[in-house]
Structure 1
Amino acid sequence: MSEISREILSVGDLNRAIAASLEDRFDTVWVSGEISNFKAYDSGHWYFSLKDEEGQIRCVMFRGRNGQVGFMPQSGDLVEVSANLGLYVPRGDIQLTIQTLRRAGMGGLYEAFLKLKAKLAKEGLFDEERKREIPTHPRSIGIITSPQAAALKDVLSTLARRAPHIPIVIYPTLVQGPDAPAGIISALKAAEKENAVDVILLVRGGGGIEDLWAFNDEQLAYAIAQSPIPIVSGVGHETDFTIADFVSDLRAPTPTGAAELAAPRKDQMLQELDAIIQALLQRINQRVEREAQTLDQLALRLSHALPNPDRMREQIQGWQQRLNQAWSVRMESWKRNQTHYQSQLEMLNPQRTLERGYAVILSKEKDQLHAVRDPEELISNSEYLVRLADGSARIEIGKIKR
């Protein structure tokens, strides 16, 4: 066959032929590698490359598939993917269209996670309709975590800053290892039995899937779903997802975020109280004005209906005086109550405590100040910040006697 008689293909036809050949030649393949140039578009689709020491290949994972991944991949992550091999015709690039994605080496755990997640979702444990509302003004807050966890310090610091007036109850437990799920369930039962808190924070710092595996326990999921006390989960980092996150009444991206979601800010509460007082006073004034207008109308009717208007006017004046006195007494009572409530709020001001002669010793850890509550925390030849009513001073403790 001469060169002239050969069929001449367009670039698009050639690329489509190559794509069809690849699709016929390869079934679903499993590939492992390191993520590179990861991008998540507004459409919800993910685009990146998989690479190793010998090469790389482009990848795409569409929104309908990546919603089941359970974490947000990042460049540098080692992953395993199940994908179809094909060719993107417009550019002529060979690419993997990914169906599933999991962390490398965690295939068994990840598959167990997806299987349990699907089972519990089918049973309705993740449905929004069954989740309890988080109280906006809790009377007390419970925390379930390890006493040695760094997350506990962050949570306590956040709660002390936002809502120092709210009591805290800590239910200690293991949060990692084979005994952790039973310990967390026991802590939940203890909180339910005591009935001393209005909301529970279930928190733990970040880690790998194996570190957070205690929060993927099936029995723990049922215990969270059956808890009569609303639960806010703050497990791991923002990109970490566990079964406990899905079944809890509210998921926070971090332990600190859980504390922020559960505790109202003190200044916001004071603003709300002031708004309530103003609304109450406005309602009272409106009621007084309505009643005064009604009284004027009745007085006018009486002046025309009764034979002795002068006597009736005197009676009306007496009634008006009594009504004004009654409203004055009521207003004074409301004002006293307002003053009482304001004084109670003022008593909660930490500055008043300092003005009575107390002081706060603050130490610095990880660029954050926290109050020293235990003498055992004091360290010789260390610098501390002492906060007094009229200012603060830095001191160095030379010798400690306990």
Structure 2
Amino acid sequence: MFETSKPMTAPHVWDVGALCHAIGDALQARFNPVAVRGELSGFSRAASGHCYFNLKDASGQIRCAMFRRAAEHVGFSPRDGELVEVRGRLGIYEQRGDLQLVVETMQRAGQGALFEQFLRLKAQLEAEGLFDAGRKRSLPPLPRGIGVVTSLGAAALHDVITALRRRVPHIPVVIVPALVQGAQAPQSLVQALSKMYRLAQAGQALDGDLAQKAGQPLIDTILLVRGGGSLEDLWAFNDEQLARTIVQSPVPLVSGVGHETDFTIADFCADLRAPTPTAAAELVAQPREVWLGALGLMQDRLDNAVQRMLDRQAQRLDLAGQRLGRPSQQLAREQLQLSRHAQRLRHAMLIKLQHKAQNQQALEANLPQILQRSLERQKQQLERMDLRLQLLDPRLVLQRGYALLTDDGGKPVTQVAQAPAGSALKAQLSDGSLDLVVTPPRLL
């Protein structure tokens, strides 16, 4: 008797992209976020600012990508062979199907505690507004004096002084020394800055001439500088008290601590961060040649403007001199104009006299006809007035059978109420008058 095996269930058929996406979800749920320690290999920075590299050890390696936003906060310059600790998220780069770690933070191995402390202080001070761009001031274009706080034995001081002597040898430099490394360095830096602030405020309280006569330095900007080093070497510039002292500076303060890739809390608090101590000096000191060139250009422009103005005034003077030097020409022009006006006046008067003479001759020739027409118009007017008077004669009305009644006083009687019974009236007819007596009305 033979046994029949059960048929195998067919596996689910995935699209490639969907499978990669599902694997990524599984990694996200199982591992992320993840921290990895390893050696940098094949580190490169693209033009976009994104960084790509491998993390490896003796038993394996993994591809990594760190985008520009995260790369900008790395406090050192990563190099192949360095041992680092990174934090990030595992995922699948679906275009290639590769396992990839997207790095969010990176630090040298062994510096984790310090770096975490740095991040906590940075977040705290940023929340308090110590890093706000609105409180940062612009550097003066022409400082009257420059203050420098650093160690007297530091190479950074030599670099700063060399740059300032080369670019602005005429500007005085005030140096207040301080420790820049070690346990006592933060307090030393705070004290040095406080002293520099007092000097700057004292100089600002006096006018320039008075300050110089009193031997008081005029400080318009301050440089806080130190050369490069490890995170431990630069740790004094990550002190909270130092950060709060920096933001109290009465004049713009430039931080030039470490190399270009080094960042400290002091950099975020300063009005301006310079990548190196030498760059800090160059930022506050435009070369003297630049200003001399600008002054020369301004002088040329001023000379040209003055020369153009003098030329215009000279031309006006020449024209005025020509007018004053030849008054006979002006007099001749005025006389000619006067002669023209007189000739026009004579011509106008002659024409008016001619018109008047012509009108007089026409009047004499037509006088009989004018008189005859005038007499006829007056005769017609008189006849019309006579007719109007005749029409107004009351006798014409009386001839048509009407009579004019008057009372014994001669007043016209126009209403019955004016002639009661027994009243004496007079009736004027067309050929005489009658005396009347009003009788009472008859009863029917």
- TM-score for the superposition, normalised by structure 1: 0.69
Given that 1:121 and 1:127 are in contact with CA atoms closer than 8 Å, whether structure 2 keeps it comes out as yes
For 1:209, which of 231, 235, 243 is the aligned residue? Answer: 231
Of 76, 91, 98, which aligns to 1:93? 98
1:262 counterpart = 2:284: yes
1:168 counterpart (168, 173, 197): 173
What CA distance in whole angstroms lies between the structure 2 residues aligned with 1:13 and 1:74?
36
* 1:296 shift after superposition: 6.1
The 1-side partners of 2:137 and 2:42 are apart by: 40
The structural deviation recorded for 1:156 is 1.6
- Taking a change above 3 Å as real, the CA distance of residues 187 and 294 of structure 1, as seen in their structure-2 partners, is farther
Match of 1:29 in 2: 34
Count of residue correspondences: 309
Aligned counterpart, 1:108: 113
Query: In structure 1, which of residues 37, 47, 61 is the aligned counterpart of residue 66 of structure 2?
Result: 61
Deviations 1:240-266 (A, max 9, x none): 011111121221111111122222213
Matches of 2:115 and 2:15, distance apart in 1: 44
SS at match of 2:65: strand
Matching residue of 2:57: 52
- The 3-state SS of whatever aligns with 1:226 is coil
* Greater mean deviation of Cα atoms: 284-293 or 73-82: 284-293
Equivalent in the alignment of 1:150: 155
- Provide the C-alpha distance between the structure 2 equivalents of 1:298 and 1:125, rounded to a whole number of angstroms: 69
> Partners in 1 of 2:220 and 2:330 — Cα distance?
63
Percent identity of equivalent pairs: 53
Structure 1 counterpart of 2:294:
272
Equivalent runs, 1:1-400 vs 2, <5 Å = 5-195=10-200, 196=217, 197-292=219-314
**Any unmatched runs of 5+ in structure 1?**
311-402
> How many angstroms apart in 2 are the aligned matches of 1:19 and 1:218?
41
Matched to 1:194, the amino acid is: L
SS of the aligned residue for 1:228 comes to coil
Does the 8 Å contact 2:74/2:261 carry over to 1?
no
The whole-number CA distance in structure 2 between the counterparts of 1:19 and 1:92 is 10
Between the aligned partners of 1:191 and 1:308, the Cα distance in structure 2 is 79
The DSSP-based 3-state class of the residue aligned with 2:267 is helix
Does the CA contact (< 8 Å) of 1:302 and 1:309 recur in 2? no
CA gap of 1:6–1:243, structure 2 versus 1, over 3 A, is: closer
Confirm or deny: 8 A CA contact 1:32 1:81 kept in the other structure.
yes
Separation in structure 1 between the aligned mates of residue 259 and residue 194 of structure 2, nearest angstrom: 26
In the alignment, the residues of structure 2 paired with residue 299 and residue 240 of structure 1 have an alpha-carbon distance, to the nearest angstrom, of 75
Deviations 1:218-248 (A, max 9, x none): 1211211111122121111110011111121
Instruction: Give the number of the structure whose alpha-carbon radius of gyration is greater.
Output: 2
**Preserved CA contact (<8 Å) 1:47 1:59:** yes
Structure 1: how far apart are the matches of 2:62 and 2:151?
43
Q: CA deviation at 1:56?
A: 1.1
Compared CA separation, residues 113 and 301, structure 1 to 2 (3 A)? farther
Mean Cα deviation higher: 101-110 or 294-303: 294-303
For the residues of structure 2 that align with 1:74 and 1:41, how far apart are their CA atoms? Answer: 15
Secondary structure in 1 matching 2:222: strand
CA shift in 2, pair 1:218/1:296, >3 Å: farther
Alignment partners' CA distance in 2, 1:287 and 1:59: 70
3-state SS of paired residue (2:39): strand
Name the TM-score, length of structure 2 as normaliser. 0.63
The question of whether the paired residues in 1 share the 8 Å contact of 2:36 and 2:85 is answered with yes
Displacement of 1:115: 1.8
Contact 2:254 2:273 in 1 (8 A): yes
Task: Give CA-to-partner distance per residue, 1:315-338, whole Å, 9 cap, x none.
Answer: xxxxxxxxxxxxxxxxxxxxxxxx
For structure 2, the residue ranges without an aligned partner over 5 or more in a row are 1-5, 201-216, 332-444
Distance 2:30 2:274 in 1: 46
The 1:54–1:277 alpha-carbon spacing in structure 2 relative to 1, beyond 3 Å, is same
1:205 positional shift: 0.8
Q: Deviations over 1:74-102 (max 9, x none)?
A: 33332222222222222222121223322
Cα offset for 1:308? 13
CA distance, structure 2, for counterparts of residue 12 and residue 2 of structure 1: 29
Partner SS for 2:62: strand
Q: Which amino acid aligns with 1:100?
A: T
**Residue 194 of structure 1, CA deviation:** 1.8
What displacement does 1:149 show?
Answer: 0.7
- Change beyond 3 A, Cα 1:231–1:4: same
Paired residue secondary structure (1:182): helix
